[in-house]
A and B are shown apart, each in its own frame.
Chain A
C-alpha cells in the first residue's frame, strides 16, 4: 500500500491537513429529513445523520437521533442520503504511468503525473464520488503505482491522497493483460509472452527480496537499491494490491493462475467475461470491479459484454463493485452502473453496495468509508431521488464532513450539467466551492 520511499515531510503535512480538516468540522452538521441508505442496513425513512469532526456521529430515524446544540442543520427532506460513491478505477486528473520504453514499470507513480485541478476531478465530485482510485492506463503489462484519493478540497495530490497508518500515500499496482498491452517489442505480441514477462518480473522480485532479507540477517551484502523491484516486493508482501485489467474469461484465469503462483493480493478490473468463469473467481475469493458499458464491442475481447455479468458474479458469491473507468463512462452518471446491473438482474442491495462499500473494501478502506455507520468518515452524497432511477441527480457531495459540491452553487453547476467552462480544456479553480467560505 505505501509508496516508497515514504517522504519524511508527508506525515507532517498529513497531520497538518488533518488538523485543518477537523477545524472545518465545527460545529456538527445534521442532515435532516432524507431517506437514508446506509448500505449495511435497511433504508431509514425521514432520518437524521449527524456529522462531526469529519466522521459520522449519529444516524437513525428522526425521533431517535438528538441533534446536538449548535449543530448546523441541512434540510434534505424528500432527498436520499447515501454514502459517497467509491470508484475503484478512474482516469480523471490526467494520469500517466510508464512510457513506451518497456511493458513493465513498477517504479512509475501516478502521483507524479496527475493534476487534481483538472475539471474531470470536479465533475467526479458532481457525480457524488468521494473516493477514487486513480490509475494509469492498460497499455502496459504493468503501468505503475496508483493512488487512492478522497475528493477533498485541495489543489495538490498530497492534500487529496489517502494515507495509511504510517502517513504514506496509499495506492495499488496497475496491471493488464489481453490485447491492450500487446504490441511490437519490447511489448509482448502474444498472451503467453505477456504472462512469461510478468512471471520473470516476479521471480526477479522474489530473488531481490531474498537478498534483502539475507542481508538484514547479516548474511551477505544488501543488493543495490532498485525502485522497480522494491515496488514489486511490496506487491509480493501484500502491501500493495494488484488491480488487474482483464476482459476475456481465459485472461481472467491467467491472472488467477499468476496470483496462485506468486501470492499477491488481487482485484480484478473490468472482468467482462467474468460471467463465464464466475465459479472460478468465487472459489479464488477475488473481488471484481466492473465497468458497465452501454453496448458490446469496441474491441474484439469485449464482445462477451452482458449486463447480466454483475448478477451472475453476485449469485456466485463474488464481492462485486463498480467503476467508471472515466472517461470510458462519465463520473457524473456513475449511478447508471448500478442501474444497468439491476437491469441485468443484480439485487438492489448488491448494486448499492457495488457503488460504495464493495469498492471501499477493494481499496482496503472498508473500515473508513462506503457505508453510513457511526465512526466512519462523513463521506456523503445527497441525491434528488432514488439512486436506481434515471431521473435522479446528485445534488451535494460531502467529504469528511465538508461540502465539496453543491448543484445550487453557480460555480459548481456547470460541472454537473456541462456547458461553458467545465470541459476538459478548462482549468478548475475551485475558488468558491461550498458554503464554508471557499479556500
Chain B
C-alpha cells in the first residue's frame, strides 16, 4: 500500500465499472457462504503483509488453508476453483482486543456479559462460556473485513476473567474458537476500583490484591505438585492464575496512566509473568520502560475520547510506538454506549492520518496483532500454510470511504451485507 498524496485516489484506481464487476463477482460466488474445496481470490493489489504488495495477484486456498500466493501470471489456479476478484485484497483483519460477542449491540442486560462486578478477582470466568457467535456485532465486524477477534471479559474489575481468540464465523463457539483461553484480563488504575462498594478502593489496595492472588496461585501450584495425599482440592481461580505463572498465557493489564503502567511492570517482574499492556493512553511517557522490558501494547482505539484516565490520549501514539520499535496492535476496545463497537480499519486509518505509515497501520490490524496474540502461525498474513482468511476491498483498506466486499474465512466465502 502506498501513502496517497493529498486528494489522490487509491493506487488501484476505483472506476465504478470495476467496482460493480467486483461486486457482481463477489455476489455470484460468495453469496452462498458454502464451503468450497478450492477458492482463488484475485486482487489488482494483494497485500500479503509478508513482503511487498503484489500487483495483479492471486491467493489460492485449498481445504481452508492458503496453498499458493503470487502474481496471477505465475500462480496456477486449480480447475474448479471458485474465483473471486476485488481491487484490493488483504489478510482478514484482526481486532487485537474487543468485547464483542460477550457485549452485544442492544446494550440491554441480556446481551451484556462482559463484566461481572460481584467480586473483584475472577480469573476463572471463561470467555468461551459467554461468547455468542450469533451476535449482530460479530456479523458487523465480519462485514467490514474483520475475521479474527481477541475478545473476552472487559476492563473494569481488578481481574474480570479470561479472554479468547475467535474467528468471526456465524457458527458454534467450539467451531469459531481459535484459542479458548488467551489471556487473563486485569485492570489497574481507577478502572479497577470499586467506588466504595468494597475493595479495591485505591491503587495500592488493587496492587496488593493482585499480588496476593498471584502469590496464592503460586503456592497452590507448588502444592498441587506435591504427593497425592497433600494435594489441595482443585481451585478454578488458582488454576487460571497458575497458567499465567507458568507462562502459558499472558497477563493482559488494561492501564492508561503512566504510574499504573509502572505498577503493572513491577508486578510482572516480581512474578515473572508474561505481560501484555492494554489501553495505554500515556504510552509515550513510558517508552523506555516498554523497550527495556520488551512489553507489547494493545493500543486503545485511535479515536478514543480524551477524558478520564484517557485525558492525555493522543492520535499520534501509534506512530510514536512504531518509532520506538515497540510491538503494538490497534484494538477496537470496549465502548459502554455509542458506537457499541469500533472498527479497527477506521482506527488504523486515523493512526495513518496522524503519522503512522499506512503499511504499518495495516500491519497493526493484521500481522503485528497476530504476533502479539501468539496466533501468527495461523492468521495475520497471506502466506502458504496459514488459514484461508482474506478480506476484499474496493480500494485502500484504510480509507473511510472504501467498502469491504466480503471475506473468505477458513476458505469459506461470506458476503453478509
| Interface residues, chain A, with chain B CB atoms under 8 Å away | 35, 78-80, 123, 293-300, 302-303, 327-328, 330, 332-333, 336, 339-340, 342-343, 384-386, 388-393, 414, 417-426
Contact = CB atoms under 8 A, between A and B. Distances in A.
11 contacts: A293-B339, A295-B140, A295-B343, A297-B338, A339-B399, A340-B400, A342-B401, A386-B7, A389-B7, A391-B6, A423-B306
Contact of B340 (A295, A386, A388, A391): A295
B343 A389 contact: no
Contacts of A426: 311
B311 A390 contact: no
A35 B7 CA distance: 10
A10 to B, nearest CB: 33
Contacts, number: 142
Interface of B: 3-8, 104-108, 136-137, 140, 284, 303, 305-308, 310-316, 335, 337-343, 346, 349-350, 352-354, 398-403
Q: Which of A300, A333, A420, A423 has the most C-beta atoms of chain B within 10 angstroms of its own C-beta?
A: A423
Nearest to A422: B306
A336 to B, nearest CB: 6
Given A330-B303, A390-B349, A423-B307, A294 B402 contact: no
A339 B400 contact: yes
Chain A binding site: helix, strand, loop or mixed by DSSP? loop
A25 B308 CA distance: 39
Contacts of B349: 390-391
A80 B7 contact: yes
Classify the interface of chain B: helix, strand, loop or mixed.
loop
B401 A343 contact: yes
Contacts of A336: 346, 400
A80 to B, nearest CB: 7
Nearest to B303: A330
Contacts of B308: 424
A294 B305 contact: no
Given A418-B315, A418-B316, A390 B400 contact: yes
From B106, B140, B403, name the one whose CB has the most chain A CB atoms within 10 angstroms.
B106
Most buried by B among A332, A333, A418, A422: A418
Contacts of B104: 297
Central interface residue in B108, B308, B314, B398, by most chain A CB within 10 Å? B314
Nearest to B336: A298
Contacts of B343: 294-295
Contact of A385 (B7, B335, B338, B340): B7
A327 B305 contact: yes
A296 B398 CA distance: 20
A298 B105 CA distance: 6
